[in-house]
Structure 1
Amino acid sequence: MAEKERVIITQGQYIASAVKKEQYPEKELPEIVCIGRSNVGKSSLINSLTRVKGLARVSSQPGKTQTINFYELGVRIADVKDRKSFYLVDLPGYGYAKTGKGNRKIWAKFIEEYLTTSPRLQFVCQLIDIRHEPMVSDVGMFRWLVERGIPVLVVATKADKIGKNAQNRQISIMRKVFGIAELSILPYSSLKNEGRSDLLDVIGDTLIQC
């Protein structure tokens, strides 16, 4: 018999797209962010997590998301009386624009402003394709977030594409590249919803503390 999920998404809906503070949603809710390179599977993960088909548009064209997209999710947590709500925030993919190596800007000014000024940001899910070693832009983004005291959870996407042993090897490589031996990395498959309950548990624990 399948184990009952501790954290259940009860509803999910698109709320707003923004490129400046004035366009952020008025309702004050905790915010959990998804960020990653273009085509890493952010939209697929959002659709998998919410189980709302097509909530986030999946595109084969890199760099399609050009705005900060806010989705409001409702959550029921086992042994918690009141239901919780939060914003799942989808940021544009980084690392796609072809710019000079000397002064590569991997995210737009409005993304930097959001990440450094939002008072309700709880943590960032940094998505990285588990099949590949983290790229320079991945490492740069990770360090940028850590240096600013923004909590990061590395989510290794497309985990269904490789076997368990290969997953473990890739996670070891990621930890070595990031230079943190005990770095928490969560393998995720949007296709099979593997890792979904683990990510929901992290979200639930965060919301309980808000």
Structure 2
Amino acid sequence: MTKITKFNQLDFRQTKFLLSAPNIYNMPTDEGLEIAFAGRSNAGKSSALNAITDQKNLARSSKTPGRTQLINIFQVNNHLSLIDLPGYGFAEVPLAVKQEWQKSLGEYMQQRKAMKGIVILMDIRHPLKPLDKQLIDWSLESNLNILILLTKADKFKRGAQKNQLLRVKNDLPKNKAINIVPFSVLKKQGIEESINILNSWYDQYLSEEALHQ
């Protein structure tokens, strides 16, 4: 018998750029479901967003990491938005600019009620830097769904990927809210699995909304 999924399947190919905001006070109404994408400035955040939405230039990537200075909002449908947060920990920009990024990121993560999930991107060769761990700890304390993408997985062979995945799992708290996926845009690895996880979050959101009606 064919297993029937209960997911409300999302068509991420319909995702559209909505707007860029310097802070949360210039963002759309705080409602619906927002899934934030965050990570170090060289982790491949824009490339991952483009791969998941199957669009080449939805999120603009730069040869110089850290050029995303604004909160970028992408609308999947009337209920769901993907939020591209400023990268952290790498960009060669003035200190004042870094401090403004940090402020915007902190305000969004602490005050935005629509944020229910976070995708944290880490280079598979250099995972769990101090800022990554802080972000994971904060997300767990905030009861967020967490998807960790170990990007640039093509840099490792499959055996090395599995070893690194196990190491990351062992270094993190045992929590059902955490999903970890080796991810490679080049090899199209982990894209379908990531989409299924995001679909499950959306399904969870719709179920919770139905209970409150």
TM-score, length-normalised on structure 2? 0.80
Match 1:136 to one of 130, 140, 165 = 130
Tell me the equivalent position of 1:78.
Answer: none
Match 1:187 to one of 176, 182, 191 = 182
Task: Work out the CA distance in 2 between the residues paired with 1:205 and 1:71.
Answer: 19
Gaps of 5+ in 1: 75-83, 99-103
CA shift at 1:168, angstroms?
Answer: 0.8
DSSP 3-state at the match of 2:76 = strand
Tell me the equivalent position of 1:208.
Answer: 203
Q: What one-letter code is carried by the residue in structure 1 that aligns with 2:196?
A: D
Relative to its length, the structure with more helix (as a share) is: 2
Which string of whole-angstrom CA distances, capped at 9 and with x for unpartnered residues, describes residues 51-86 of structure 1?
111111111212110111001124xxxxxxxxx741
- For the pair 1:165 / 2:159, whether they are aligned, the reply is yes
CA shift at 1:10, angstroms?
Answer: 4.1
Which string of whole-angstrom CA distances, capped at 9 and with x for unpartnered residues, describes residues 131-182 of structure 1?
2242122112211222333332211111122111111111122123335488
Task: Work out the CA distance in 1 between the residues paired with 2:74 and 2:53.
Answer: 10
Relative to its length, the structure with more strand (as a share) is: 1
Task: Work out the CA distance in 1 between the residues paired with 2:156 and 2:130.
Answer: 23
- For the pair 1:24 / 2:34, whether they are aligned, the reply is no
Match 2:86 to one of 85, 88, 92 = 92
Match 2:18 to one of 15, 21, 29 = 15
Task: Work out the CA distance in 2 between the residues paired with 1:171 and 1:181.
Answer: 15
Q: Are 2:69 and 2:101, in contact at CA under 8 Å, matched by a contact in 1?
A: no
- Alpha-carbon RMSD: 2.7
Q: What one-letter code is carried by the residue in structure 1 that aligns with 2:180?
A: I
- For the pair 1:65 / 2:55, whether they are aligned, the reply is no
Tell me the equivalent position of 1:52.
Answer: 55
Task: Summarize the Cα distance change of 1:208–1:184 in structure 2 as closer, same or farther, 3 Å threshold.
Answer: closer
Task: Work out the CA distance in 1 between the residues paired with 2:100 and 2:203.
Answer: 33
- Aligned pair count reads 193
Identity %: 33
Task: Work out the CA distance in 2 between the residues paired with 1:181 and 1:122.
Answer: 16
